[in-house]
Amino acid sequence: MKVRPRDDIALMAGYHSPQLDVAVRLNTNESPLPPPAAFTEAVAAATRSVVWNRYPDRQAAELRARIAARHGVAADQVFAANGSNEVLQCLLLAYGGPGRSAAVFEPTYALHSHLARITGTSVVEGVRGDDFIVEPGEATALIGSARPAVTFLCSPNNPSGTVEPRSVVSSLLDAVGATSGLLCVDEAYAEFSPHSALELVDDETPVVVTRTYSKTWAMAGARLGYLIGPEWVVAELEKVALPYHLDALKQAVGLVALDYVDEMQARVDAIVAERNRLSDRLGGLPVDVWPSGANFVLIRPRHRDGAEVWQQLVDRSVLVRNCSSWPRLDGCLRVTVGTPEEDDRFLAAIEEILA
């Protein structure tokens, strides 16, 4: 006889991205460019230094110190985990839960709501404007009435790519401060963006910023992310993280990556230039294109069914993300910036489909 899970989990759908055998994969916002060969060689050397029969440093002290130095904060203000998704999960384990709520502004990163529900946290949904920017007045009113324990603000926003103005971040921070809540600014795509909320982080302000190695560091396969926030937040996250959750090899690889900041920035610059070229080309087609501060572009084909266009792209061995079922994204497709060759193949395919 099967044992039933929690009733709310039984009704829940998992979060998955389609994995299809195609020639051009532009659906999961991975870096199209690998780290430099020297990085791979340094990782191999680091592997040989791992003491496999011993548990890793439970505090990940060296990695946290190096991340802290990069951002000009104290090591006790850094929490590292298995991808930024585990960081978000720990945040909700510590500050969410039954009887508490988390606020999101749709359309946005689906894991914020998904992880909230997994942790027994109720979800309060606000909406973004037609330009997918959060409207400060409506957002602060929602926070004031719902009093969420955690408010999520994704900037650059996934899947729209839009970057929140500094004034919006400040307004939300004032609102959560007045209701004893916590603001989490999800900056998975920060290095592609013109500004960051990191400048707001100190040990008195209820704001945290989450980052990932997956995108700009071209390390999606490593699953490493981190949070920067007040020391008192980090201390609570350490209570809910599993013992030794960050393995020794992952810590070593995270340290190696920080020796290649210039190479990382060069990749970012190349992807931003390619994003601009892709957006310009798409602007000449019968599609709506939203301005992006990330490594992807959101589009909506005009007078065509988005799911149908997605399938026709797959038929041409090009995979993008079908966002049609997401809140307020009827007919929308999200296209990860690939190499120039990959993007040219995508452009040729969609031009043929829309002709």
pLDDT at residue 19, rounded to an integer: 73
pLDDT tens track for 197-245:
999 999 999 999 999 999 999 999 999 999 999 999 999 999 999 999 9
Nearest to 58 by CA among 233, 197, 242: 242
Q: What is the mean pLDDT of residues 325-341?
A: 95
Q: How far apart are the first and last CA of the chain?
A: 55
Q: Using the predicted structure, report yes or no on whether residue 253 has a pLDDT greater than 70.
A: yes
Residue 319: strand pairing partners: 25
Q: What is the mean pLDDT of residues 131-137?
A: 96
Where does the pLDDT of residue 7 fall: very low under 50, low under 70, confident under 90, or very high at 90 and above?
Answer: confident
Amino acid at 2: K
Q: How many Å apart are CA 46 and CA 58, to the nearest integer? A: 18
Across all residues in the chain, what is the average pLDDT?
95
pLDDT at residue 327, rounded to an integer: 87
Q: Using the predicted structure, report yes or no on whether residue 5 has a pLDDT greater than 70.
A: yes
Phi-psi region of 136 (alpha: psi -120 to 50; beta: other; left: phi over 0): alpha
Exposure b/e, 294-323, CB count within 10 A at least 16 = b: bbbbbbbbeeeebeebbebbbebebbbbbb
pLDDT at residue 11, rounded to an integer: 61
Amino acid at 236: E
pLDDT at residue 84, rounded to an integer: 97
pLDDT at residue 16, rounded to an integer: 59
pLDDT at residue 115, rounded to an integer: 97
Give the chain's domains with CATH numbers.
7-35+262-354 (3.90.1150.10), 41-257 (3.40.640.10)
pLDDT tens track for 309-320:
999 999 999 999
Q: What is the mean pLDDT of residues 232-261?
A: 97
Note whether 225 and 201 are within 8 A (CB).
no
pLDDT tens track for 164-199:
999 999 999 999 999 999 999 999 999 999 999 999
pLDDT at residue 172, rounded to an integer: 98
Q: Using the predicted structure, report yes or no on whether residue 295 has a pLDDT greater than 80.
A: yes
